[in-house]
Amino acid sequence: MGKTLLYLFLLLFFSAQSQIEQGSYFSEAIGKNIKKYTKNSQIAYAEHNFEYAEFLFDSLINNVINGSYLDNFKVRKLSGKKINLYKFDKPIFLMTYASWCTPGAGEIPALNEIAENHYNHIDFIILFWDSKENVRKIARAYSDRINIIYVDEKENTNDHIVEVMKHSLGFPTSFFIDESKRIIDVRRGALHPYNEKYEVSFELNYNSFLNGISLLKNLSEEEKTHIASKENP
């Protein structure tokens, strides 16, 4: 009973905050909630209460982050050239990563296949928090349909959004973002043992990626239908 009441309290807290945060930037929305989330999440993991930890994450995403707008900030391409993140004008699948993370055996092949099938309508981006040298080595495994970019945090000591995006939700985290840069959903990577068989890993990751991509494609189709109905009443 006590645990249920606590869940309800936190859900109401995040819901109340969301009334303020909707329409704000990601860094603003999460910045006002991340300390409380981090504290409670660390306690939950320390107590091996993984169900509660997942509840906290879902509450943060659904009631605070979703509906906020991704901040614009500078990133580097593999060439070293700096560009604004807003340079990408399609709906965006954005995964944040780091070279010290070990992907499941089927994760990258699954993402490569998804990107090959949907790159015409969606910008696929992997954002590494890492050095150019490390990112270049990793980038070889990804399809040419996927944009590999990076941020070397040593170059961005005064950029608040870099700190927030890197340290708030962990790696890997996938953001599904519409054309206006509004965050539709945020999801962690498919959780499974890293020694899982390739076929199982591929299927888990493929289904997870496709489910998120479907959100963006459905939104795009709804917008087209809405425009068509206005043009042809």
DSSP, residue by residue, 146-203: EEEEEE-GGG-TT-HHHHHHHHSS-SSEEEEE-TT-BEEEEEEPPP--TTS-HHHHHH
Instruction: Please check whether residues 56 and 134 belong to one and the same domain.
Output: no
Answer yes or no: do 116 and 159 share one domain.
Answer: yes
Torsion region of 23: left, alpha or beta (phi above 0 gives left; psi -120 to 50 gives alpha):
left
The pLDDT score that the predictor gives to residue 68 is 94
Q: Which of 36, 65, 94 is the last residue of a domain?
A: 65
Distinct helix (H) and strand (E) counts, the chain: 8, 7
Query: Which residues of the chain carry a pLDDT beneath 70?
Result: 1-23, 156-160, 162-163, 190-194, 219-233
Together in a domain, 30 and 99: no
What is the residue range of 142's domain? 74-231
- Regarding whether 15 and 88 lie in a shared domain, the answer is no
Q: What pLDDT is attached to residue 228? A: 38
Per-residue pLDDT reduced to its tens digit, 214-227 = 888 776 554 444 33
99 and 140 assigned to the same domain: yes
User: Residue 83: beta bridge partners?
Assistant: 75
Angle between helices 50-60 and 34-46 in degrees, nearest 10: 160
Do both 28 and 91 map to the same domain?
no
CATH code (residue 196): 3.40.30.10
Domain tally for the chain?
Answer: 2
Same domain, 57 and 151: no
Cis peptide before 172 (omega within 30 of 0): yes
Question: Do both 82 and 156 map to the same domain?
Answer: yes
Query: What are phi and psi for residue 201, nearest 5 degrees?
Result: -60, -45
Predicted local confidence at residue 215, as pLDDT: 87
Instruction: Give the residue among 97, 161, 154 at the shortest CA–CA distance from 129.
Output: 97
34 with 129, same domain? no
Nearest Cα residue to 122 out of 220, 190, 204, 203: 220
Same domain for 84 and 191, yes or no, is yes
Residues 20 and 113 placed together within one structural domain of the fold: no
The DSSP code sequence of 33-74 is THHHHHHHHHHHHHTT-HHHHHHHHHHHIIIIITT-BPPP-E
**Per residue in 168-202, pLDDT tens?**
787 788 999 999 999 999 988 766 556 788 999 89
| Boundary (domain end) residue, out of 65, 89, 112 | 65
Q: Which pTM was predicted? A: 0.81
Residues 18 and 121 in one domain: no
